């Protein structure tokens, strides 16, 4: 039924179509006023060149339009209905706003005052169709822009916040000329966008061409094919996924969100500024420079061997997270960052181990393969053992090749064990068992045959602190060893005095002794504890004539060391055997008033063989064996003693005070030890420098007394006490020695 009414106060009539009524506006005819359509089967048809001067309100029914509607089309009153349909043909023109709260719109014509889509509405702009004038707003509806269609307005999408929920969509294969504001919903484009785009939330899927600035506040932006972007990109939050196709950006690219470069995909931009997270995949590429300010590049996906490329420079402050497999000796597998330009700034590499176990790698493992390194480059590492366990890793740079590499080697603290071992061996050889000889003295009494027996004892105790440097194939460590020691020595001898041609005094004897001590070694942030004990025996001969005296001593030592360092997996013992030959000569120059000077020179040479130490890994199983090599030692010394003797004839005794200055020099070659990893049998050779030259200052007192003949047979007593201080740039130590001798 059609109602045409001219109501008082209105300039135009309203056409009402209900109950299945239809109205056709024929070509070149005009329907005055507004049109209300409300009824199943009701329809308005506007033929080409036909006109409607007012608005069309569509509640239920159909509008087929090929002419001109001066007003707008509105389905607001049809909320919840699905039986409203608007078809705008190629010649159709709508002069007013089109608002679809519900229903379907198909348009190949011109909508000249914008389009608004509400809940449960959809619109398709076909080839040749256009939206012009006011904004295009999609509220939970669906707008499809087909190829050849044009939207020449700003576009706003207000959809659901979760992209997975079907609420608010724009599908563009045509051209949008205007700014886009997205809050929720899904935008998919493979056409052209000319205007600035802001993604507040939702999902934006793109290929084709976009001209204008893109700002991401939140949400997800994903390339579904090749995308050319003319303008700037500012990812302030959310996710930018270059995963379904490559993306070329002509302007600046800033990322403070999550930027993912898919496998085999390329993001091309003059410079990418990163303060957020870049997720790189195998064969992914940033074609341009990357300037990072606290940003992160994440390559770890649980699969080792990914290669990610930056064709330009890498500068600024960057954290690089990578997968690595170090479980096979000499066959490390790792993700790789390739930089085609300069690597500079601060690079923190976090390595994510993907297999159990850490082994030695005899060659550097390249982590960042650059072209050149900048002068302010600082590279640090985290994520794998650096101070714990027998095998450790550290970063290094290779300026010649522009690389940042991973070096592996024996934990320098193990080198510290070698250093402690060497330090104690040096200390025993030069301080505790000093090569200056047994405690032998002349006799001041007459014997029937000028021959006499004697025995002596010596006690020594002290502390020494020494710095040692141990060098491995790739790593080195400086450590400090503190040694506390105590020892007792003794000997028996027989000598004849002025009984040989030329008036020589000759004394020969045997000696024995035992030393004990403790060692505390700090190296590479770890502390190694050790206890040692040593037993030895030997023979000596002393010759003197006038003011000249000399001694030669041959000694064999057996030492045992108990080492403990839980962090290194070390709880083992090792024994050593040393054979040493030492000797000294001296000459006494008598001065006035009981004063004298005695210059002395001597040597000590020896050879030490050693057992091995086993280190366990975190699983408690053996991780490697440290084998010190046989070592030849060679020590020389020279010094002088100045003293004064005061004789008490009434008691047949003499008291001597003295001061001594001595210079020792360790001529030995570096001590060498070999660490062999259990997994793969790769070895690392560790060398520890010798002690070198050091000085010794001594002060002391000597006491001698001739006793009357007694049933015990003791005719002479000698006693001596001396304090020593030793020093050089790496050694500081002090000890006290007390000696006692009885002559029969």
pLDDT per residue as tens digits for the range 295-331 = 999 999 999 999 999 999 999 999 999 999 988 888 8
Predicted confidence at residue 444, as pLDDT, reads: 60
For residues 421 and 560, give the distance between their C-alpha atoms in angstroms, rounded to a whole number. 11
Predicted confidence at residue 7, as pLDDT, reads: 41
Model confidence at 446: pLDDT above 80: no
Higher-pLDDT residue of 422, 130: 130
Predicted confidence at residue 644, as pLDDT, reads: 96
Predicted confidence at residue 1, as pLDDT, reads: 39
pLDDT tens sequence across 206-250? 999 999 999 999 999 999 999 999 999 999 999 999 999 999 999
Q: How far is CA 617 from CA 13, 203, 208, 349, 606, in A?
A: 95, 49, 56, 24, 35
Predicted confidence at residue 711, as pLDDT, reads: 60
Higher-pLDDT residue of 422, 37: 37
Global pTM reads: 0.73
- Rounded CA Rg of the chain: 48
- Give the mean pLDDT of 138-152: 96
Model confidence at 35: pLDDT above 70: yes
Indicate the SS3 state at residue 163: coil
Model confidence at 679: pLDDT above 90: no
Give the closest residue to 571 by CA, choosing from 561, 581, 579, 580: 561
Model confidence at 116: pLDDT above 80: yes
Confidence of residue 81 (pLDDT cuts 50, 70, 90): low
- Give the mean pLDDT of 469-476: 77
Predicted confidence at residue 151, as pLDDT, reads: 98
Confidence of residue 432 (pLDDT cuts 50, 70, 90): low
- Give the mean pLDDT of 612-618: 84
Pair of tokens at residue 582: 């030492």
Predicted confidence at residue 8, as pLDDT, reads: 43
Distance of CA 127 to the CA centre of its chain: 57
DSSP code at position 387: S
| CB distance 618 to 672 below 8 Å | no
Pair of tokens at residue 217: 């506040």
Model confidence at 618: pLDDT above 80: no
Alpha helices in 196-253 (DSSP H): none
Q: What are phi and psi of 422, to 5 degrees?
A: -70, -40
- Give the mean pLDDT of 429-454: 68
Write out 238-288 in H/E/C secondary structure.
Answer: CEEEECCCCEEECCCEEECCEEEECCCCEEEEEEEEECCEEEECCCEEEEE
Average pLDDT over the chain, rounded to an integer: 89
Confidence of residue 436 (pLDDT cuts 50, 70, 90): low
For residues 509 and 491, give the distance between their C-alpha atoms in angstroms, rounded to a whole number. 7
Predicted confidence at residue 215, as pLDDT, reads: 98
- Give the mean pLDDT of 652-670: 92
Predicted confidence at residue 2, as pLDDT, reads: 43
- For 81-146, the DSSP string reads ---EEEEE-TT-EE-S-EEESSEEEEESSEETT-EEE-TTEEEEE-TT-EE-SS-EEEESSEEEE-
Model confidence at 4: pLDDT above 60: no
């Amino acid at each position: 039924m059609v109602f045409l009414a001219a109501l008082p106060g209105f300039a135009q009539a309203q056409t009402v179509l209900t109950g299945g009524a239809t109205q056709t506006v024929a070509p070149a005819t005009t329907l005055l006023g507004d049109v209300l359509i409300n009824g199943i089967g009701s329809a308005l048809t506007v033929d080409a060149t036909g006109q409607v001067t007012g608005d069309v309100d569509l509640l239920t029914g159909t509008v087929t339009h090929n002419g001109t509607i001066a007003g707008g089309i509105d389905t607001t009153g049809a909320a919840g209905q699905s039986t409203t349909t608007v078809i705008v043909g190629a010649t159709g023109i709508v002069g007013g706003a089109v608002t679809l709260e519900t229903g379907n719109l198909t348009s190949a014509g011109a909508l000249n005052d914008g389009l608004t889509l509400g809940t449960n509405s959809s619109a398709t702009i076909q080839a040749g169709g256009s939206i012009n004038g006011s904004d295009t707003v999609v509220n939970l509806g669906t707008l499809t822009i087909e190829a050849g269609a044009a939207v020449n307005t700003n576009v706003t999408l207000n959809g659901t916040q979760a992209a997975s929920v079907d609420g608010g969509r724009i599908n563009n294969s045509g051209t949008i000329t205007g700014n886009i504001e997205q809050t929720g919903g899904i935008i998919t484009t493979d056409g052209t966008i000319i205007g600035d785009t802001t993604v507040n939330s939702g999902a934006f899927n793109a290929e084709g061409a976009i001209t204008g600035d893109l700002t991401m506040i939140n949400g997800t932006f994903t390339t579904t094919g090749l995308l050319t972007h003319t303008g700037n990109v500012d990812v302030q939050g959310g996710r930018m996924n270059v995963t379904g196709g490559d993306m070329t950006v002509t302007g600046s690219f800033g990322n403070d969100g999550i930027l993912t470069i898919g496998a085999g995909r390329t993001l091309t931009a003059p410079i990418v500024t990163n303060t957020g997270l870049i997720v790189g995949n195998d064969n992914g590429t940033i074609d341009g420079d990357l300037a990072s300010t606290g940003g992160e590049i994440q390559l770890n996906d649980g699969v080792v061997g990914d290669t990610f490329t930056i064709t330009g420079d890498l500068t600024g402050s960057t954290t690089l997270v990578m997968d690595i497999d170090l479980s096979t000796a000499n066959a490390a597998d790792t993700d790789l960052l390739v930089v085609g330009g300069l690597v500079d700034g601060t690079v923190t590499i976090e390595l994510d181990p993907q297999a159990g176990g850490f082994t030695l790698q005899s060659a550097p493992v390249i982590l960042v393969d650059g072209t050149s390194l900048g002068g302010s480059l600082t590279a640090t590492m985290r994520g794998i053992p650096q101070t714990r366990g027998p095998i450790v890793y550290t970063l290094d740079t290779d300026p010649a090749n522009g690389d940042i590499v991973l070096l592996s080697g024996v934990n320098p603290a193990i080198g510290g064990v070698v250093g402690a071992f060497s330090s104690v061996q040096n200390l025993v050889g030069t301080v505790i068992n000093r090569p200056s000889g047994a405690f032998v003295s002349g006799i001041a009494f007459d014997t029937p045959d000028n021959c006499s027996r004697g025995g002596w004892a010596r006690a020594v105790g002290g502390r020494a602190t020494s710095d040692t440097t141990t060098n491995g194939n790739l790593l080195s460590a400086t450590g400090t060893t503190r040694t506390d020691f105590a020892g007792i020595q003794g000997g028996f001898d027989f000598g004849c005095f002025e009984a040989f041609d030329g008036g020589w005094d000759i004394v020969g004897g045997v000696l024995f002794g035992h030393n004990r001590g403790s060692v505390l070694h700090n190296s590479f942030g770890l502390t190694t504890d050790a206890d040692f004990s040593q037993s030895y025996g030997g023979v000596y001969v002393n010759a003197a004539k006038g003011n000249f005296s000399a001694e030669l001593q041959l000694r064999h030592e057996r030492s045992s060391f108990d080492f403990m360092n839980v962090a290194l997996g070390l709880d083992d013992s090792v024994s050593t055997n040393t054979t040493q030959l030492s000797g000294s000569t001296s000459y006494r120059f008598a001065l006035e008033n009981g004063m004298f000077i005695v210059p002395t020179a001597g040597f000590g040479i020896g050879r030490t063989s050693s057992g091995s130490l086993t280190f366990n890994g975190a699983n408690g199983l053996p991780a490697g064996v440290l084998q010190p090599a046989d070592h030849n030692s060679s020590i020389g010394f020279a010094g002088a003693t100045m003293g004064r003797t005061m004789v008490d004839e009434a008691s047949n005794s003499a008291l001597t005070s003295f001061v001594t200055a001595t210079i020792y020099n360790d001529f030995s070659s570096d001590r060498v030890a070999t660490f062999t990893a259990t997994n793969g049998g790769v070895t690392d050779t560790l060398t520890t420098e010798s002690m070198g030259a050091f000085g010794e200052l001594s002060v002391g007192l000597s006491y001698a007394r001739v006793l009357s003949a007694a049933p015990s047979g003791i005719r002479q007593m000698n006693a001596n006490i001396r304090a020593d201080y030793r020093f050089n740039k790496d050694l500081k130590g002090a000890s006290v020695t007390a000696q006692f001798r009885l002559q029969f």
